[in-house]
Amino acid sequence: MAKPLKPLESLALEKLSEESLPKPLDELSDAELENKKLVGRVTTYVLKYLSNKFVDNGFEWLLPVVFSKSTDPLWPDPGASIDKKVECEIYGETVKTTSSMIVHKMVACSLAYPKLFTFSPNIRIEKRERAYTGIHAYEFTQLDFEVRYASAQDIRSLVEKILSGLIEGLKKDLREELVALGRYKTLREIELPLEVYDRMELLKKHGDNWENKIISSSSKPVWITNIPREFYDFEDFKNGRWDNYDLMLPGYGEVLSGSKREWEYNKIVKKMDRDNVRKDNYQLLLKLAKEGKLKPSAGAGIGIERLVQWIVGAKHIGEVQPFPKIPGVVYEL
Ligand code: AMP
Ligand code: MG
């Protein structure tokens, strides 16, 4: 297997101290509450814009789930750093809280909804030290979407178009808010197409620190492809290339991960065995794959809070959450 990525640390890392971690609503000054309201308006715009676009493009809007027997293993994703998995017993069965809806998406997209999206709460109990990366929360929301028979390129083109339209719309419709947040001038409209870089090439050119290099030197979002990770991302066994992609935001880091998916039983089993992923956690997915009912698809998940964080220029992701979920910090709400 190719050399793993070094986990991403935000560029904000050095600037964050314990005192600068986001506070809960009831401890904010009047000025900080004003700021929170502006971020709320931006968030509302983003949610409305994105959901309209997906609906207009023929996607079905699914409501999310929280408890399931099967969820994303987040392994072997080199970017993941999970302190503990949350499991509990209901009706005599052990269920996990959603770490992402990838399994649900693959099943739903194959069986019933060829184009689907959902705003899904993800619970990931990140390690405490991630409080200071500025870009990790222990609860966040993914706009997760999937398209049957789509290619990786189809998904990247769709995302680029939606993202550039979003920024254009924000600058037109929310000028006052962006000015007040100090982001009107620095948030540039996105010229398409975006650059696509192969992770192996970047690793060769910049070494282990390639991720920070890319984030600090790009003025607009860029795509990274060919990233070794979980079993559900498509891997070409002949040439070892992964048909997947991350979208990186300048100054912040990864805002989206996605891929063309594996759908063939033998490949999925082989990858689960190789990565020590427990097959009994994915019984339904494996059954459908074995019966030929799992269909080829591609899709992605966008971290909503991280997207808003970049738009408003917040130092810490908790600043854009009404109820900050900072790793290691548990407020009452
Ligand atoms: P992943 O499934 O890990 O690739 O995550 C998909 C997207 O969710 C990422 O690109 C981020 O935008 C967002 N994300 C992942 N982990 C976190 C986290 N701990 N806090 C906030 N957003 C996250
Ligand atoms: Mg990712």
Number of domains into which the chain is organized: 1
- C-alpha 255 to ligand 1 mean position (Å): 7
CA distance 63 to 108: 12
Widest distance between CA atoms in the chain = 60
Please report whether residue 327 resides in a domain. no
- C-alpha 296 to ligand 2 mean position (Å): 20
Residue 29 belongs to what domain range? 11-320
Q: What is the pTM of this model?
A: 0.96
At residue 159 the predicted structure's pLDDT band, cuts being 50, 70 and 90, is very high
109 in contact with ligand 1, CB cutoff 6 A: no
21-43 pLDDT per residue, tens: 999 999 999 999 999 999 999 99
Host H or E run for residue 206: helix 199-206
142 in contact with ligand 1, CB cutoff 6 A: yes
49-58 pLDDT per residue, tens: 999 999 999 9
pLDDT at 78 (0 to 100): 79
- C-alpha 300 to ligand 2 mean position (Å): 9
Please report whether residue 333 resides in a domain. no
Please report whether residue 325 resides in a domain. no
Please report whether residue 151 resides in a domain. yes
Q: What is the mean pLDDT of the chain?
A: 95
Check the CA dihedral 19-21-24-25 and report its sign: positive
Domain with residue 148: its CATH number is: 3.30.930.10
Please report whether residue 326 resides in a domain. no
Please report whether residue 204 resides in a domain. yes
273-306 pLDDT per residue, tens: 999 999 999 999 999 999 999 999 999 999 999 9
Q: Which of 291, 163, 305 is nearest to 222 (CA)?
A: 163
At residue 45 the predicted structure's pLDDT band, cuts being 50, 70 and 90, is very high
Q: Quick one: which atom of ligand 1 is closest to the CA of 256?
A: 10
